[in-house]
Every structure is written in structure tokens, then in C-alpha cells.
């Protein structure tokens, strides 16, 4: 979400998305600075692993310092605000953390090279994330005891990890592709930390839907406009197997020409996908969640509020007129 006011952001997402079957969530506010960004926020959750900020990015430290403490402070502020505005809440509540592969592709070892380049390092990172995530989930359950928590793993670097396109620190070469079975196993182990629904989000092209399905996640969140017909089979099999499609259709920044105005048109791509897959229209309301294509941090506050309302209207259109 845009801005720096945790209470205002929590009020917006809980107010706009409170009524079932809507999906309120714990906002992230990267505009506050280092430690509130996607990588830094999750790095602050790590168990017995600490970070500090270098000009090149986040790097592992020997002990907790100012940057780790700041990241944890921002997260407490976010959770305090969500707790305030979810008193008595029952139903779904989504939280997001950076997934293990995007974390490994964005965090440096002490020598300045990425964690991704060392199998021992990225396995230790995944184990630390799993333990820290257990504590984070337990904290949120205490704060919002009536909620059914939905865990989202943000993995925009996942495709690059699989394809071997993540650059090294020098920028002159790329890290070797990680074996798909290893990637799948790490994701499966992390998903097992949470007893509730787990969703993997990526706004990059060629999201590995079949791999995520084998890893046991319950949903995949992606930008529908980036899908190609070559991906249809994997998506169709996933939906038929019970996976939820978090369909990114609403632009994360204000489009040229002004405000969002056509909720039914926004989900036209989802209807086209359904027809190509030959799936029952009645499955749409049960299998699709309408979302922005990516995060709203770069939007104006007005567009962010409008985008959430537009998602609600577009989802209603999809449910009322699935064909």
C-alpha cells in the first residue's frame, strides 16, 4: 500500500474488504524506508539470522543491529494497526512474506555474494524463515483470534531462479538454475509450516504453476495479462485439482485516461481463460479471487482505495455473469 501511516492503511484494507467473501490483509508500507520494503520486512522475521543494509542491498550480519531492529519495529507497528481494526473479525485474513527463493535471490552472504549461490546458505535461510514464520503466524493468531489466516509467499524471482537468469554480484554472469526438485522441496517444507491456506504470488511471466501445485500450495497469484496459451494446461489442471487462482487484473497504478471504470471488462481475460480451458462457469466464483496485478505501493492513495473497490465490483460481476 502507498503512504507511511500504518493505521490509515489498515483502516483502508479492512474497511474496503471486510464483508465476506472479501479478503482483508496485513498491509505493507515500503515508502517508510529500509526495513519496511519487501525483503527487509521479511528479513526482520528471520530466526537467529540477522541483516544489515549495504549500498548493494540486504546482507547477513553476525548480530542484530539497527537495521534488524527497525524492520521488526515496522512490522510490530503494522500488526498493532491491524489488530486495532480487526476486533471481532471472523473469516479470512491474508498476510504476506517474501518467499525463500526471492529472499535467496535478493539477500547477500557476508562476502557480498547472493545466498542463492550457495546451497548451504539458501537452505539455512529457508530454515530460519520457517522458524520465524511460525512465530509470526502465532503472533497474528493471538492478535486476531477469530481469523482464518491465509499465507501468501511473494516469489517474483522464482522464475529467474528456475531459469538461471538471476545475475551475480558482479553483473557479468548469472547464477546457475536451481534444480526444480530442490525448489519444489523448499517451498513444500515452508508451506507445511502453516496449517491453513498458502498462496504463492508472482507478477513475473511464466509462473511455474505445475511446480507450485506439486509443492502443495493452495493457490497461485499472477498477472492474467502475462499468461500465454502454452500455460493453459497447467492452470486448468491446477484449478480442477482444487487450487484457487488469484487473478491479477486491476492495474496497480492509475491508468492513462483516468480512474477505473469498467469492472466487468476487467475480468474479460478471466472469462476468456475459462472458455479456453473448457471449465464450468460455475467454478469461477469458487476458484477465482480478483486482485490487482501487483502491489499498490506505487499508486496514489486514491487509486489504491479505488483499486480495492474495483476488485470487489469485478468479482461480483464475475460471480453474477460467469459466462
DSSP helix/strand/coil, 223: strand
Output the pLDDT for position 29.
Answer: 97
Residue 22 placed within a domain: yes
Task: Please report how many Cα atoms fall inside a 13 Å half-sphere around the Cα of residue 85, on the Cβ side.
Answer: 23
Q: Which of 80, 56, 58, 77 shows the shortest CA–CA distance to 67? A: 58
Mind listing the pLDDT tens digit for each residue in 123-159? 999 999 999 999 999 999 999 999 999 999 999 999 9
Output the pLDDT for position 3.
Answer: 96
Output the pLDDT for position 323.
Answer: 67
- The domain containing residue 196 runs over which residues? 6-27+90-320
Describe the crossing of helices 119-143 and 66-85 by its angle, rounded to 10 degrees: 30
Domain count, the chain: 1
Residue 163 placed within a domain: yes
pLDDT confidence band for 106 (50 / 70 / 90): very high
Output the pLDDT for position 285.
Answer: 83
Task: Please report how many Cα atoms fall inside a 13 Å half-sphere around the Cα of residue 160, on the Cβ side.
Answer: 19
| Mean pLDDT on 149-176 | 95
pLDDT confidence band for 257 (50 / 70 / 90): low
pLDDT confidence band for 169 (50 / 70 / 90): confident
**CA–CA gap between residue 229 and residue 235 (Å, rounded):** 10
Grid coordinates representing 155 are 516469489
DSSP helix/strand/coil, 91: strand
| Mean pLDDT on 87-104 | 96
Residue 227 placed within a domain: yes
Q: Residue 147: which CATH number?
A: 3.20.20.210
Residue 126 placed within a domain: yes
pLDDT confidence band for 272 (50 / 70 / 90): very high
| Mean pLDDT on 239-247 | 95
Residue 65 placed within a domain: no
Residue 252 placed within a domain: yes
Question: Residue 282: pLDDT above 90?
Answer: no
Output the pLDDT for position 157.
Answer: 97
Residue 79 placed within a domain: no
Amino acid at each position: 500500500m502507498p503512504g507511511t501511516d500504518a493505521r490509515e492503511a489498515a483502516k483502508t484494507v479492512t474497511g474496503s474488504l471486510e464483508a465476506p467473501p472479501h479478503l482483508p490483509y496485513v498491509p505493507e508500507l515500503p515508502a517508510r524506508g529500509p526495513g519496511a520494503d519487501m525483503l527487509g520486512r521479511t528479513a526482520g522475521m528471520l530466526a537467529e539470522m540477522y541483516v544489515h543494509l549495504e549500498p548493494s542491498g540486504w546482507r547477513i550480519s553476525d548480530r542484530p543491529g539497527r537495521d534488524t531492529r527497525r524492520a521488526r519495529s515496522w512490522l510490530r507497528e503494522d500488526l498493532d494497526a491491524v489488530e486495532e481494526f480487526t476486533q471481532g473479525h471472523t473469516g479470512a485474513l491474508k498476510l504476506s512474506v517474501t518467499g525463500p527463493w526471492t529472499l535467496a535471490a535478493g539477500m547477500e552472504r557476508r562476502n557480498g555474494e547472493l545466498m542463492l549461490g550457495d546451497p548451504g546458505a539458501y537452505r539455512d535461510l529457508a530454515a530460519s524463515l520457517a522458524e520465524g514464520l511460525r512465530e509470526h503466524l502465532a503472533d497474528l493468531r493471538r492478535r486476531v483470534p477469530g481469523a482464518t489466516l491465509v499465507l501468501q509467499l511473494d516469489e517474483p524471482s522464482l522464475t529467474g531462479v528456475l531459469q538461471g537468469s538471476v545475475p551475480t554480484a558482479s553483473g557479468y554472469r548469472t547464477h546457475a538454475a536451481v534444480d526444480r526438485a530442490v525448489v519444489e522441496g523448499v517451498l513444500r517444507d515452508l508451506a507445511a509450516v502453516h496449517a491453513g491456506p498458502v498462496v504463492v504470488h508472482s507478477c513475473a511471466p511464466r509462473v511455474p504453476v505445475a511446480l507450485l501445485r506439486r509443492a502443495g500450495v493452495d493457490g497461485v497469484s499472477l498477472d492474467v495479462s502475462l499468461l500465454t496459451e502454452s500455460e493453459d494446461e497447467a492452470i486448468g489442471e491446477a484449478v480442477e485439482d482444487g487450487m484457487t487462482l488469484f487473478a491479477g487484473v486491476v492495474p496497480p497504478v492509475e491508468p492513462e485516461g483516468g480512474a477505473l471504470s469498467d469492472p466487468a471488462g476487467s475480468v474479460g481475460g478471466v472469462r476468456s481463460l475459462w472458455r479456453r480451458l473448457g471449465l464450468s462457469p460455475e467454478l469461477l466464483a469458487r476458484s477465482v479471487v480478483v486482485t490487482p496485478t501487483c502491489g499498490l505501493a506505487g499508486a496514489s492513495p486514491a487509486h489504491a482505495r479505488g483499486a480495492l473497490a474495483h476488485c470487489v465490483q469485478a468479482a461480483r460481476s464475475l460471480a453474477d455473469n460467469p459466462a
